[in-house]
Every structure is written in C-alpha cells, then in structure tokens.
C-alpha cells in the first residue's frame, strides 16, 4: 500500500465553507428585533459546536503540515 503524502491527504479532504460563516451571513441579514425561536437557538448552538470542531481540526492540520520536513521537488521552478 502506498502511503499518501500530507498534500494528497489535504487535497482529498472534504471542502466546505465553515457552517458558522453561513449562519453568520444568515444572522446578519435578519432583524435583531425579531427574536430567534428556541429551535433557531438550538440549531445555532449545534452549528457553533461543529464549527468550533472544524476550526480546531484545521488548526491541528495546519500545525502538523507546517511541522513537516522540507522535501525536494521533482520539478525545478523557472528561474532556479
């Protein structure tokens, strides 16, 4: 079995906009005087949880990625 490179793992990751961004966009368009229902708040709390988890995972991945040793490229960029 061929081990995937960190870059390949990253490329394969599901790509999505953080759900908090979509919810923030939604909230920003509504009037603050129209109070959220209990269901809305519950949905928002669920989204906050998953958003927070996603941020933590991404931060961890970034840290791991930055900690990888440098490897020579097969292609020499133009100018080098």
Partner 1 sequence: MCLGSESAGLLTGQFRDRLLKSIEYLKFKARNHNAVAAHDYVSSVISEQEKYGVYRDLFPQEWATSQASFYQKGYYIKYSERTNELFHLINNKCFPLLDYLADDRENEFENFYIPPLNMDLCCEDIYFENLNTSYAAGLIFYFPDDAWEYLNERFRLSKRHFPKINPDPHPGVWKEKGCIFGDLLRFIDHSTDNPWLDSIYCQMSDWYGFNLETIQELSREYGAACKLLEGLKPLDALIEAHPKKMLSALIDFWNNGNLPDETTLSPTRTGRVS
Contacts with partner 1 by CB under 8 A lie at 17-18, 20-21, 23-25, 27-29, 31-33, 35-36, 41, 44-45, 47-48, 51-52, 54-55, 58
Nearer to partner 1, 65 or 68 (CB): 65
Find where tokens 């790509």 sit: 15
Residue 71 phi/psi, 5-degree rounding, is: -125, 145
Shortest distance in whole angstroms from residue 12 CB to partner 1? 20
Q: How far is the CB of 51 from partner 1 (least distance, A)?
A: 5
DSSP 68: S
CA 55-62-73 angle, to 5 degrees, is: 150
């Amino acid at each position: 079995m061929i081990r995937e490179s960190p870059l390949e793992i990253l490329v394969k990751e599901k790509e999505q906009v953080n759900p908090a961004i979509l919810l923030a966009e939604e909230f920003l368009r509504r009037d603050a005087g129209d109070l959220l229902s209990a269901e809305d708040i519950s949905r928002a709390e669920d989204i906050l949880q998953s958003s927070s988890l996603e941020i933590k995972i991404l931060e961890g991945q970034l840290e791991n990625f930055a900690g990888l040793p440098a490897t020579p490229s097969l292609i020499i960029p133009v100018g080098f």
